[in-house]
Amino acid sequence: MSDDLACRVDRHALPSLLETVRQEGNEIMIFVGNRGCVQIFTGALEKLAPMRGWLNISILLLPCICAEESVDEVWGDPQADFGRTRHQRRMFAKDGTQIAQLYGQRSEGHPEQTQWRQQVDRLTREGQPA
């Protein structure tokens, strides 16, 4: 994937990305929000359990539960941050509402995890072979 352009990625690959993150044990950040509130989940994934159309993600015993069918698009887009680039994956509903953002965990002003970058680079552009 190009470092400077946003692109749509295969939304069905998101559970496998999260499973890779869980198996490899690196910490991530998941931002889930709406107009009035943002919940930030930070840490290593302890549990990832698909269950009848729902994806149950647990970080530090805090559940983050996502209805898989509500995710219409997933986009990968780099963001400039203190002169560095960080790579996120953003999930959107059919109406364009952002559902969540995923990042590799990092401290402000520090580079993103090499491991996270390798994990998100495994997601392919939609319609492209892996």
Q: Could you say which residues of the chain have pLDDT below 50?
A: 1-2, 129-130
Break the chain into its structural domains and give their ranges.
7-121
Contacts of range 112-119, beta carbons closer than 8 Å, 24 or more positions apart? 112/84, 112/85, 112/86, 112/87, 113/26, 113/27, 115/24, 115/26, 116/21, 116/26, 116/28, 116/87, 117/87, 119/17, 119/20, 119/21, 119/24, 119/26
Q: Is the pTM of this model over 0.75?
A: yes
pLDDT given at position 1 = 45
Distance CA 4, CA 11 (A): 20
pLDDT given at position 22 = 93
**DSSP calls for 103-115:** EE---TTSPPPHH
CB-based contact 120:89 (threshold 8 Å): yes
pLDDT given at position 77 = 80
Topology adopted by domain 7-121: Heme iron utilization protein-like fold (3.40.1570)
pLDDT given at position 128 = 54
